Amino acid sequence: MVKIASIVIGLVAISASVWVAQCPCDRSPGAWIFGDVVVDTVVDWSFANDAGLCQLEVSGFIPHSINLNCMADRSELFVSCARCDGKHWSTVAMELPHGRIKILDSVYPVKMVRVLDDATLDRAWQARANKRRGRSQSTLPPPRPSHWWSFRLESY
């Protein structure tokens, strides 16, 4: 019985280690994000549009990280989600706004600020559409849904 318990504990420890080192994966959240940490303040986030998905880490006893779309407009960086109310990461971001974002292979300390004004939300929505279309701005995106939230990420 002790041998079986040791095997189970060992398998759980190995699984947890792989999860921490590899995730977030697709839609599965992770914990810490790893990469080269950039300590310089970022003033131009336009390079974020070259990344497919970014990884956002929010604070906690054990950090929580997810894959999500990030997009830049006018040197501002945004992350967004549909129906954010009640999602773990957005709730934590509003309570503990300091986190980190991984873009390509680098990790940046950021402050997350929920965007509430329509003009900035529309800019973020347009930046999202431009990124998804490969920066083509020839057509307008569909109207921004009311359940769509956006956070501006500020480098510090």
pLDDT at residue 138 in the model: 58
- Per-residue pLDDT for 64 more than 60? yes
- Hey, which residues does 65 pair with through a beta bridge? 30, 57
CATH class as words, domain 2-155: mainly beta
User: What single-letter DSSP state applies at residue 38?
Assistant: P
**Contacts with 31 (C-beta within 8 Å, 6 or more apart), sequence order:** 19, 20, 23, 62, 63, 64, 65
Measured in degrees and rounded to the nearest 5, phi and psi for residue 36 equal -70, 120
Angle at 147 between CA 131 and CA 134, to 5 degrees: 5
- Kindly state the average pLDDT of the residues 86-92: 94
Give yes or no for a contact between 63 and 89, defined as CB atoms under 8 angstroms apart: no
Q: What is the mean pLDDT of residues 64-77?
A: 94
User: If 0-12 CB within 10 Å is exposed, 13-18 middle and 19+ buried, where does residue 139 land?
Assistant: exposed
**CA distances to 38, 77, 86, 93, 120 from 117, in Å:** 30, 16, 20, 18, 6
The tens digit of pLDDT for each residue in 98-137 reads 999 999 999 999 999 999 999 999 999 999 999 988 755 5
The yes-or-no verdict on residue 12 having pLDDT over 70 is no
**Helices in 23-113 by DSSP H: which ranges?**
88-95
Q: Looking up tokens 């929920």, which residue turns up? A: 114
Q: What is the pLDDT of residue 60?
A: 86
Q: What is the pLDDT of residue 137?
A: 56
pLDDT at 1 over 90: no
pTM over 0.95: no
